[in-house]
Amino acid sequence: MAHPPVVPAKTPAPGVFVWPRIRIPLSGWTLFALAVATLVMVPVGVTFSAFAHIEGDILAHLTEFVLPELMANTLWLVLGVGIGVSVLGVSLAWLVAIYDFPGRRLFDWALLLPLALPAYVTAFVAIGLLDFTGPLQTWLREGWGITGLPEIRSRGGVILVMSLALYPYVYLIARNAFATQGAIALEAAQSLGLSRRQGFFRVALPMARPWIAAGLMLALMETLADFGTVAIFNYDTFTTAIYKAWYSLFSLPAAAQLASILILFVLVAVVFEQRSRMRMRYGGIGRGAASRRLRLPPGRALAATLYCGAVFTVAFAVPIVQLALWARDTFATDLDARYWGFVWRSLLLSGMGALLVVAVALLLAYAGRQRPGPMMMWTQRLATLGYAFPGAVLAVGLFIPVAALDNALIDAGRAWFGLERTAWLKGTLLVVMLAYLVRFLAVGFGPIDSGLHRITRNIDEAARNLGLGAAGLLTRVHLPMLRASLFTAASLAFVDIMKEMPITLMTRPFGWDTLAVRVFEMTSEGEWERAALPSLAIVVAGIIPIVLLSWRGAHTHD
């Protein structure tokens, strides 16, 4: 009988949860996790190292003419969108989670649909509709003689559009918090003599604060990362400045220096978000006793329906209808071979990116199961921090090291093999794929990791008791049990990559124009109608996982 190797004598402290281990020579799992974390940290290091070789005149130009405006624009945007998404997200979440009113069941998931609309799509639809030459102003002016409507291409306009596009981040997470603890908190408050209104402000809202803060920080990270919307509005922020430094000034150091300042903003948001998550973990949601929904008196119920309906209409229905109308007008001329090329390359890039993300996320989650401990936990956290980094930053931060590596390869190829090539890696899909991986790893890691956590140690042990080895455990138990999580991870990553604009724009190989790139090109020329058809394809792809996920959420018990 073969004697299997002994489990290492190093035993963990009592009470520490130990997963049964699949033995792999050396700690391959740990090395893998560290490698992923390093890859994620590279762009940050690279952008900061740009300060090591400052080009004096560019920096002087930046600080004198560019930075003050960028700073002001960014701060106003963050402030405005922060207030906007909080008010919209929390109020909608409270209504839907606590009260009953006509249409509530529909709004419950329909209010998530704006997630499928990239903010840049909402942006160009809003401009197309509300601009001086747009149908609304034209109609008011010519039919009624009304002029002097506020200009949509303004700071207020950007804030409004981004709030409408990003409120679902707050709505989603606050709704879950309210649904599990809100009603109980409210009842407890009322039993202690508070009115409903006082109960909301003094108990339910403070209790849900960590959740709201986490959702808010996600929305603000998206705000800081946004490129498409602010480009359409000609509202200069760091992302557009990085893009201009890259393409107009051809100055990588300037782009990197701008990127590093943007990273500072992002890191503040990251710290707040991580802190809220900690408080969420320890605050703990109470027992989710499904208490009955509170019935609103008819007048207020109507007001609730109208309010939810208005947000849904403005944030989703109107843009979709307008896109469809524009698409119908341009359908005949634009639905050609070139269009199918955009679709094909979008599907290809998103598909490859999603596969890469899911594969790495699965391995990273598995690494945590095989080698648990505080070091692995921190490594995983760092490795999944990329969701916070704006695409424009990642493009710069990954292009610089890859270009350096490429130069080394060119020299080495020439010296050792006599090969004359101008590029080995530049112009390949490497940079795009790495950037997608860094940015969207968290999107894939979340569902896979929680899916893996649902497979208890006892399940593993039961399988081994019944005679299964490591390989059998993976193929017969883990993968079948993870199927839903893998699907969720892949579809979320797929859609996010499809919507993604700056990474694709800045690092795609020559000729790899996707739907998002096409939208950018058309909108930067103000051709809203012609941006509609590619946008519509992106939106349709984005709706599918939202519908699937909310359907599954409503029909399963975990």
Q: Least distance in Å: CB of 8 to another protein?
A: 9
Q: Please say which residue, 359 or 481, places its beta carbon nearer to another protein.
A: 481
Segment contacting another protein by CB under 8 A, of 33-41, 179-187, 419-427, 474-482: 474-482
Judged by CB under 8 A, the residue of 188, 459, 474, 536 near another protein is 459
Nearest to 493 by CA among 417, 438, 531, 440: 440
Taking the C-alpha atoms of residue 367 and residue 22, their distance in angstroms, rounded to an integer, is 10
**3-state percent breakdown (helix, strand, coil) of the chain, nearest 5:** 80, 0, 20
Measured from the CB of residue 7, what is the shortest distance to another protein in angstroms?
5
The two tokens of residue 175 are: 């709704």
Which one, 281 or 557, has the nearer CB to another protein?
Answer: 557
The answer to whether 444 and 545 have CB atoms below 8 angstroms apart is no
Nearer to another protein, 3 or 53 (CB): 3
Least distance to another protein from the beta carbon of 366, Å? 18
Q: Pick the closer one to another protein by CB: 314 or 452.
A: 452
Residue with Cβ nearer another protein (320 or 463) = 463
Instruction: Give the one residue of 467, 471, 511, 555 binding another protein; rule: CB under 8 A.
Output: 467
Kindly state whether residue 554 participates in binding another protein, applying the rule CB under 8 A. Answer: no
Q: With contact defined as beta carbons under 8 Å apart, do 163 and 198 qualify?
A: no
- Residue 555 within binding range of another protein, rule CB under 8 A: no
Closer residue to another protein, CB minimum distance, 19 or 109: 19
Rounded CA separation 350/293 (Å): 41
Question: Under the criterion CB under 8 A, does residue 134 sit at the interface with another protein?
Answer: no
With contact defined as beta carbons under 8 Å apart, do 311 and 92 qualify?
yes
- What minimum distance in Å lies between the beta carbon of 370 and another protein? 15
The whole-angstrom separation of Cα 473 and Cα 94 is 43
What string marks each residue from 153 to 192 as x (binds another protein by CB under 8 A) or -? ----------------------------------------
Least distance to another protein, CB of residue 87, Å: 40
Segment interacting with another protein (CB under 8 A) among 185-193, 438-446, 480-488, 496-504 = 480-488
Count, residues near another protein per rule CB under 8 A: 29
Binding mask 10-29 for another protein (x = CB under 8 A): -xxxx-----x---------
Ramachandran bin of 148, using left for φ above 0, alpha for ψ from -120 to 50, beta for the remaining angles: left
**Burial letters for 27-46: b for 16+ Cβ neighbours within 10 Å, e otherwise?**
eebbebbbebbebbbbbbeb
Point out which span in 3-11, 253-261, 323-331, 385-393 binds another protein (CB under 8 A): 3-11
CB of 479 to another protein, least distance (A): 10
Least CB distance to another protein at residue 115 (A): 29
Which member of 106, 461, 509, 544 binds another protein (CB under 8 A)? 461
Cα distance between residue 203 and residue 119, in whole Å: 33
Q: Among residues 330, 310, 311, 334, which one has the least CA distance to residue 322?
A: 330
Q: Which residue has the tokens 């200069």?
A: 236
Q: How far is CA 369 from the centre of its chain?
A: 25
Cβ proximity to another protein, 304 vs 486, nearer residue: 486
175 secondary structure, DSSP code: H
We find the least distance from the C-beta atom of residue 466 to another protein, in angstroms, to be: 3
Specify the residue, 153 or 464, whose C-beta has the smaller distance to another protein. 464
In this structure, what are the phi and psi dihedrals at residue 20, rounded to the nearest 5 degrees? -65, 145
User: Is 1 one of the binding residues for another protein (CB under 8 A)?
Assistant: yes
Task: Compare residues 2 and 332 and give the one whose CB is closer to another protein.
Answer: 2
Answer yes or no: are the C-beta atoms of 541 and 495 closer than 8 Å.
yes
Q: Following CA atoms 172, 174, 179, 180 in sequence, which dihedral angle do they give, to the nearest 10 degrees?
A: 110
374 binds another protein (CB under 8 A): no
What is the separation of C-alpha 518 from the centre of its chain, rounded to a whole number of angstroms? 21
Closest to another protein by CB, 4 or 374: 4
CA-CA-CA-CA torsion for 460, 461, 466, 467, nearest 10 degrees?
80
CB-based burial, 313-346: b 16+ in 10 Å, e otherwise? eebbeebbebbeebbeebeeebeeeebebbbebb
| Binds another protein by CB under 8 A, chosen from 196, 381, 483, 552 | 483
**According to CB under 8 A, which one of 188, 452, 468, 536 is a site residue for another protein?**
468
DSSP 295: E
Which residues, numbered 398-457, are part of the site for another protein (CB under 8 A)? Answer: 456
- Which residue ranges make up the site for another protein (CB under 8 A)? 1, 3-4, 6-7, 9, 11-14, 20, 456, 458-459, 461-469, 476-477, 480-481, 483, 557
